[in-house]
Chains A and B, each alone.
Chain A
Amino acid sequence: MREKPVNHAGAAVAFIADKPHLDFHDARLWDMRQKRDAQMHLLPEWQDLRSRASAIKEHALANLADYLEEFERNAKSNGIHVHWAADGAEHNRIVAEILEARGARTLIKSKSMVTEECDLRPYLAARGVTVTENDLGERIQQLDDQMPSHIVVPSVHKLTSDVARIFARSYGTDPNADDPHQLAEAQRLAARPVILHADAGMTGGNFFVAETGTFVVCTNEGNADLSATVPGVHIATIGIERVVPRMADLGVFIRLLSRSALGSPITQYTSHFRGPQDGSEMHVVLVDNGRSARLGMADFWTSLKCIRCGACMNTCPVYRRSGGLSYGAVYSGPIGAIIDPTFNERKYSTLPYASTMNGSCTNVCPVKINIHEQLYKWRQVLVEHHQMPFVKREIMHMAGKLMGQPRLYRAAINGTETALGTLPRFALYNWLNPWGKNRELPAPVKETFHSWYRRNRPTAGKATPETVKTETKA
């Protein structure tokens, strides 16, 4: 049986029905968007920075193989072990082997979207390794057994009362104590012993620099640093597209990242890693997992410029009103809608339609990915690949035919037409029905513009200069 596409629209119905969550989610993310705007206004060079960031990324992607090899050479000479993972399975195997070689049973891990992509946690759990997330939001999601709903603030769809309930279940705290400071403290108390006694630490990586063989992790809670300083071994999982050529390029991205993400000038911690601590090992696992294939897609390769700031999600009016989990994918929101189909075209065939293509995402994106144009393009690809539901496909087909035939079209508008294509009428009306669920229909009018025109400008409009010629010929 073919896999069913994600039902984004259905999940959104449930999300919207829960008013307290909906209102909080929308307001919180809109606030982040506004803080981003405020930061943008403080930097007159904002648009220039975006152009530079985009150009650097495009250059790096166009020369990806060279920069990856340069990084590998330099990282190795810094004492870093560099691994290459073609896909999620290989990534997980590599990580498990590193841990096994050291007999590590507990792993403290800071937030990384790539490990979500690879589904690392269940893989390690099955091999007896206990993984503890130490980013607060990510930990909440782990305890609640949910995917992150946002790439920067993974539990943004939850109220503090939800968190209190989850912590009560896992940590035995008071389920009614939903003060955020108290909750953070509960997490700190629970995490500290785990961090102190962990056998290994793991982080993601926001950027890696070819020229220096180093990598950079940006966080606000310092959780990457806690993971990285666990004695023994530090494993960093990074997608191959995150390379920048030179250290000098980094400033452009650091200036854009947190301003775009949270509207703060910089993340609290911007940590550079250049080699293992004494007596420890450092491993970088560079993950492809579909990225090279994406690089070869003429219309979609620039999605690899993404620095995962989440600005496109914060600004997206659809995302704010449906929540990240409704996308049913590791990556949600506008960026998710254009990259998820590269992982599974059938399953994520609905996501490019979960958008009005309003274009706000494209214009906040710090690396100028033309997100809404890629959504538009994806729809064409999905139709070509027969991923559009039958009724909708037939309606479009029928409408297309009708629009080419003025007389039939006129009859349809006037409601006098009887044989509208092949699709039964009820199918069309069923499809259009949802309009009236939460909205009134426009009031009927006495006369169309067309017939008004014929009455009021009786001699005009019969033909245009061009059609006079063609019609006399015929």
Chain B
Amino acid sequence: MGMKIGLFVPCYIDAFYPGVGIATLELLERLGQDVTYPTEQTCCGQPMTNAGCVSDSAAAEALFVKLFSGFDAIVMPSGSCTHHVRAHFDAIEQTDAVRHVRANTYELVEFLHDVLKVRDFPWAEFPHTVGLHNSCSSLRALRTASMSELGEPAFSKPKTLLSGVKGIRFATPARPDECCGFGGTFSVTEEAVSARMGLDKVRDHFHAGAEYIVSADSSCMMHQQGCAERNHVDIRFIHIAEILNGARQ
């Protein structure tokens, strides 16, 4: 039997992309895990901390620890929230519970790849060409894929997982690990640069032949989709959890 897993669904997924939360939950259940979504959850505290307002994230962090410290593992379909919990949960006193939460929080892809070690998704089929977008948190903080800056041997956990899906094909954008420009509050305080980066990103995938951009981070995709729609770039978006859970489109 699986572990006792606490599911964290980031605020923007809860509010705008409920399907991603559902896919994550169903996928983990399909894989035999005992998953609970504590319904009192709010946010991991990242928006405040990234803005520099560390003390303002204390309440969110404390609530998070209260709700999740009883689980064996905490899983979330978001690289940046995972990175925040793991690396920046510093606004509150570091009790055993806090340390437990920090050490046992996983982003969905790394949980599937490293902990459950799933490679086949026989129920999944996605006969489309996809461009894979790794958020900068996933790529450079969680290291779920190799980064071009380091010249290291190529690896990609999300691609390894997606390769277990029937019919899927991959497009190769020219600048695969350039940031898409979301950046949290950066998206409003530096609106022009942010939107331009997003547009360049979706065009890069489009020109590489991608029908879909697939990512483990909905926040990047929310931004990219906004840029694509405004500029009539004909490309669709889907979270990796949805493909792995067998979404048909």
Alpha-carbon separation in the docked complex, A405 to B183 (Å):
25
- Interfacial chain A residues near B14, Cβ < 8 Å: 413, 448-450
Residue contact B37 to A396, C-beta cutoff 8 Å: no
Alpha-carbon separation in the docked complex, A356 to B140 (Å):
13
Residue contact B38 to A404, C-beta cutoff 8 Å: no
CB of B129, distance to nearest CB on chain A (Å) = 24
Known: A16-B196, A357-B183, A360-B140. A435 touches B149 (CB 8 A): no
Alpha-carbon separation in the docked complex, A440 to B42 (Å):
25
Alpha-carbon separation in the docked complex, A37 to B186 (Å):
28
Residue contact B70 to A466, C-beta cutoff 8 Å: yes
Alpha-carbon separation in the docked complex, A379 to B195 (Å):
22
**B-contacting 9-mer, from A5-13, A94-102, A263-271:** A5-13
Decide if B114 is an interface residue (CB 8 Å cutoff): no
Residue contact B192 to A400, C-beta cutoff 8 Å: no
Residue contact B15 to A356, C-beta cutoff 8 Å: no
List residues of B (17-51) whose CB comes within 8 Å of A's CBs: 17-18, 20-22, 25, 36-43, 45, 47-48, 50-51
- The range of chain A's interface size is 35 or more
A-B contact count (CB 8 A): 245
What 0/1 pattern do residues 428 to 455 of A give for CB contact below 8 A with B?
0001111101111111010111101110
Alpha-carbon separation in the docked complex, A330 to B44 (Å):
37
Decide if A422 is an interface residue (CB 8 Å cutoff): no
Residue contact B141 to A397, C-beta cutoff 8 Å: no
Residue contact B38 to A464, C-beta cutoff 8 Å: yes
Decide if B94 is an interface residue (CB 8 Å cutoff): no
Alpha-carbon separation in the docked complex, A397 to B56 (Å):
6
List residues of A (371-394) whose CB comes within 8 Å of B's CBs: 376, 378-383, 388, 392-393
Alpha-carbon separation in the docked complex, A435 to B151 (Å):
35
- Interfacial chain B residues near A354, Cβ < 8 Å: 190, 193
Which of A26, A46, A448, A467 is in CB contact (< 8 Å) with B70? A467
Residue contact A442 to B16, C-beta cutoff 8 Å: yes
Nearest CB to that of B68 among chain A residues? A464
- Interfacial chain A residues near B50, Cβ < 8 Å: 357, 376, 379
Residue contact A355 to B186, C-beta cutoff 8 Å: yes
Residue contact B179 to A356, C-beta cutoff 8 Å: yes
Alpha-carbon separation in the docked complex, A463 to B191 (Å):
40
Residue contact A431 to B175, C-beta cutoff 8 Å: no
- Interfacial chain B residues near A363, Cβ < 8 Å: 140, 147, 149-150
- Interfacial chain A residues near B6, Cβ < 8 Å: 464
Residue contact B195 to A438, C-beta cutoff 8 Å: yes
Residue contact A467 to B186, C-beta cutoff 8 Å: no
Decide if B167 is an interface residue (CB 8 Å cutoff): no
List residues of A (4-24) whose CB comes within 8 Å of B's CBs: 8-9, 12-13, 16, 22
Decide if A296 is an interface residue (CB 8 Å cutoff): no
- Interfacial chain B residues near A473, Cβ < 8 Å: none
- Interfacial chain A residues near B184, Cβ < 8 Å: 356
Known: A9-B190, A363-B149, A453-B39. A358 touches B15 (CB 8 A): no
Decide if B188 is an interface residue (CB 8 Å cutoff): yes
List residues of B (41-84) whose CB comes within 8 Å of A's CBs: 41-43, 45, 47-48, 50-60, 62-63, 66-71
Q: Which residues of B contact A (CB under 8 A)?
A: 4, 6, 9, 11-18, 20-22, 25, 36-43, 45, 47-48, 50-60, 62-63, 66-71, 97, 136, 140-141, 147-151, 175, 177-179, 181-200, 222-223, 225-227, 229-230
Ordered nearest first, which 9 A-B pairs have the shortest CB separation? A404-B59, A379-B52, A400-B56, A356-B183, A466-B70, A439-B226, A465-B70, A449-B21, A438-B195
7 contacts across the A-B interface (CB closer than 8 A): A16-B193, A359-B141, A360-B179, A399-B56, A413-B14, A438-B195, A439-B198
Supplied contacts A353-B189, A363-B147, A406-B40, 18 more A-B pairs, CB within 8 Å: A9-B191, A37-B148, A363-B150, A399-B48, A400-B45, A403-B48, A405-B42, A438-B195, A439-B195, A439-B223, A440-B230, A442-B17, A445-B16, A445-B17, A450-B9, A452-B18, A453-B21, A465-B71
